[in-house]
Amino acid sequence: MRSQAKLLEAAGTGLPPVVPVERGDALPLSFGQERLWFLDRLTPGSTEFTVPLFIRLGERADLDAVHAALRALAGRHEILRTRYPVIGDQPRQVVGEAGVELREAATTDLAAEATAELGRGFDLADGPVWRALLVRSDGAGDTVLLTLHHIACDGWSAVTLERDFRALYAGAESPVPALQYADHAVWQRTHLGDDLLAPGLAAWRTALEGVEPLHLPTDRPRPALRDGRGAVVTFAVPGDVARPCSCERHGTPPGPGTGRGARSG
């Protein structure tokens, strides 16, 4: 977005605002959606771009109320009911009806249940691009886990989805926003086309011409084909190490009370 803003400023053009468009036909993808669609085509069904959203309810949840709130959430945000088939020779986005896959599970191990849920991929062409799991945990309160493909959600929109779900679960009204992401995608394709972006693309091609791939000094050679596999390593940083690092980062002198943001063992 920053790069687009700079291009617009440099071009000195007054572009029209984003406006709602008709939903009768399949619509183009935004540049960001097309990138994620392309990466998904390289490894169909991969979980590499899965976004988890944990919503702790802190109580015994009402299953019907959760389901109703999720349906209302999909009705409010059409990106949740959009699929991405290939029509002709181009990917397109098609908005469907409001619905959601909701499962219920009782467990004392939320992490294990979430790991299994996040291990299931998505079919972007047929959808859906999200699903929900209501985890019942005795004594710890229930949790709603939303699992979404990154094409439908990012870190910013996850905050909005949680806020809206909590409001809908509490019985709030659900007015549909005047603009949806598909409106932005059409606006972007219409007004930020080749004429505006071509100079920047040409500049980067020139700047990167002949540049060799950078091989970072990792503990094993880079494979010929990427596979996206990784792991999480958890460790504790001793307090006498964490506190000076935090002071240096925030520009504060070391002393009592500093380094509170660091996790130490």
When pLDDT is averaged across residues 158-167 and rounded to a whole number, the result is 97
When pLDDT is averaged across residues 23-52 and rounded to a whole number, the result is 93
pLDDT-derived band at 41, boundaries 50, 70, 90? very high
Q: Tokens 């307090």 label which residue?
A: 239
26 φ, ψ (degrees, to nearest 5) = -65, 145
The CA distance from 83 to 97, in Å, is 11
Does residue 131 sit in helix, strand or coil? strand
Q: What is the pLDDT of residue 10?
A: 57
Q: Tokens 């009402």 label which residue?
A: 62
Burial of 227 (0-12, 13-18, 19+ CB in 10 A): exposed
When pLDDT is averaged across residues 70-74 and rounded to a whole number, the result is 96
Classify domain 16-194 at the CATH superfamily level: Chloramphenicol acetyltransferase-like domain (3.30.559.10)
Q: Where are the domains of the chain?
A: 16-194, 235-265
Mean pLDDT of the chain: 87
When pLDDT is averaged across residues 136-156 and rounded to a whole number, the result is 91
pLDDT per residue over 76-135, tens digit each? 999 999 999 999 999 999 999 888 999 999 988 889 999 999 999 999 999 999 999 999
Cα–Cα nearest to 54, from 158, 141, 145, 127: 145
The CA distance from 100 to 152, in Å, is 14
The pTM (predicted TM-score) of the whole model is: 0.78
The radius of gyration of the chain from alpha carbons, rounded to an integer in Å, stands at 23
Q: What is the pLDDT of residue 165?
A: 97
Q: Are 170 and 69 in contact (CB under 8 A)?
A: no
Q: What is the pLDDT of residue 226?
A: 77
pLDDT per residue over 180-201, tens digit each? 999 999 999 998 877 788 888 8
